[in-house]
Amino acid sequence: MKSKLILWPMISGYLFLSACGSRVADENWEKADQLAEYKVQMEDLRKKIAQLERELNIVDDKSTVNVEITPVVKTNFEHFVDVMGRVQSDQNLLVSPESAGNIVEILVKEGDRVTKGQVLARLNTDALDRSVQELEVNLELANTLFERQEMLWKQNIGSEVQYLQAKSNKESLERRLEGLKAQRAMAVITSPVTGVVDDLIQKRGEMAGPATPFARIVNLDKVYITADVSEVYLNQVRHGDSIQVYFPVLDLTRNAIIARTSSVLDPDSRTFRIRIELDNSRNQIRPNLMAVLKLRTYQNQEAVVVPSILIKRDFVGDFLFVAEENNGRTVARKRYIERGLNDNNNTVVYSGLNSGDGIITLGYGQVVDGTVLNHTGLN
């Protein structure tokens, strides 16, 4: 019985506190709604007051704001996007011999500049050399027999068969000798291009063969860059367009032309590939170097362009402040515009501004619609 008497006051106190807290929350909500309503009313009153002041030409000199006004002029506007590319070279080649054999002589070292056709190394050709010597002896005899048989045939001595056999034997040996010499030439490793020996992969005494690279020859006088561009820009990026290439590692910028664009889209990445060719006579640009390509996707030589920071937005849309003459005074007017592309902190204005309009470029944050202006920068 005593425990029940103690529990009842505790429950009563909890219910009282909960009721008080609920009333406080309801009062706060009511105050917030009332405050929002007052703000709306104040804004409406401010607009009505400003309208009446304009109609009555009432001006408070203390509200004059110092601003700078810039006339709108049409100018050239370009929009760019950056994509990443990678440097490659058509003449970055692994050189292998055309036949198998032991490397007996290497005539170059890494870093040497070589010309197309220059001998890099030779393989062991002892067996081929002996075969060539043997055939040369047999061919000499065959030539002698053919010459004598031909002389006799011209004198109508001997049969035609003997003459044809001697001729066939001589020609057969000549073809076999040519084949052996060709095999011996295949044992000589030559450079397929003019360039630099970037890497000697094999050493003297090792076995070389067509499937084993002997050296890497690189010619960096001409390089190219490939990059994948989003299909969104398929109609804006074309063959022959000018492009700016920047190499962050080298802090080097080059101007180039798009050499080609791919004819198909990658179905996975939804991109198309472009290729840019560069002259690299100083060999600064290396294969696999990353490059930033600045692609121009839009150009208008008669565009109305304003600094992006001047454009503001309300419930109606995008706007900025322009200067207008009103009864001998210059006042600020809110001008709604249709904005377009932006690049480098500048924005194209499609409509709402005309050439010659004065936009407030300094002090724009201190004005509202109807503010009287004390200005510079506009005649």
* pLDDT tens digits for range 221-242: 889 999 999 999 998 898 989 9
Which residues are bridge partners to 93 per DSSP? 217
265 has pLDDT over 80: yes
CB 230 within 8 A of CB 271: yes
pLDDT at 177 over 80: no
Confidence of residue 62 (pLDDT cuts 50, 70, 90): very low
Task: Classify residue 190 as exposed, middle or buried by CB count within 10 Å of its CB (0-12, 13-18, 19+).
Answer: middle
Query: What pLDDT was estimated at residue 6?
Result: 47
CA separation, residue 154 to residues 142, 145, 160, 318 (Å) = 18, 14, 10, 106
pLDDT band at 56 (very low <50, low <70, confident <90, very high): low
Mean pLDDT computed over 302-313: 90
Instruction: Supply the pLDDT for residue 379.
Output: 47
CA 331 – CA 327 distance, rounded (Å)? 10
Instruction: Average the pLDDT over 304-317 and give the result.
Output: 89
Does residue 262 surpass a pLDDT of 60? yes
The angle at the Cα of 121, spanning 115 to 123, to the nearest 5 degrees, equals 145
pLDDT winner (highest mean) among 61-70, 91-100, 285-294: 285-294
pLDDT score of 173 more than 50: yes
Closest CA to 169 of 151, 148, 145, 150: 145
Q: What is the pLDDT of residues 13-42, one digit of tens each?
A: 544 445 555 565 667 778 877 887 887 787
- The pLDDT, as a whole number, for residue 55 is 62
Where is average pLDDT lowest: 246-255, 359-368, 369-378? 369-378
Residue 258: its H or E element: strand 252-261
Please state the rounded mean pLDDT for residues 149-162: 72
Residue ranges of the chain that CATH labels 2.40.420.20: 56-75+301-376
- Bridge-partner residues for 101, per DSSP? 208
Q: What is the mean pLDDT of residues 330-334?
A: 88
Check: CATH 2.40.50.100 for 93-217? Answer: yes
Q: What is the CATH number of domain 56-75+301-376?
A: 2.40.420.20
The share of the chain scoring above pLDDT 70, in percent, equals 86
Can you give the pLDDT at residue 254? 93
Maximum average pLDDT range among 60-74, 111-125, 221-235: 221-235
Tell me how crowded residue 233 is: count the other CB atoms within 10 A of its CB: 18
Cα separation, 103 vs 124, in Å, equals: 6
Give the three-state DSSP class for 230.
strand
Identify which of 52-56, 132-136, 305-309, 354-358 has the greatest average pLDDT.
Answer: 305-309
The reported pLDDT for the residue numbered 129 is 66
61-65, 157-161, 250-254: segment of lowest average pLDDT = 61-65
At 50 the pLDDT is: 64
Q: CATH 2.40.50.100 region(s) of the chain?
A: 93-217
Tell me what the pLDDT averaged over the chain comes to.
Answer: 81
The pTM of this model reads 0.57
Q: Band of the pLDDT at 274, cuts 50, 70, 90? A: very high
Q: What is the pLDDT of residue 79?
A: 86
Structural fold of domain 81-91+219-299: Elongation Factor Tu (Ef-tu); domain 3 (2.40.30)
pLDDT at 58 over 60: no
Domain with CATH 2.40.30.170 in the chain: 81-91+219-299
The per-residue pLDDT for 22 is 59
- Residue 21: the pLDDT is 53
Express as a percent the part of the chain with pLDDT over 90. 21
Between 23 and 321, residue with greater pLDDT: 321
Q: Of 48-52, 54-58, 96-100, 327-331, where does mean pLDDT reach its minimum?
A: 54-58
C-alpha distances in Å from residue 242, one per residue of 103, 142, 276, 323: 49, 68, 10, 39
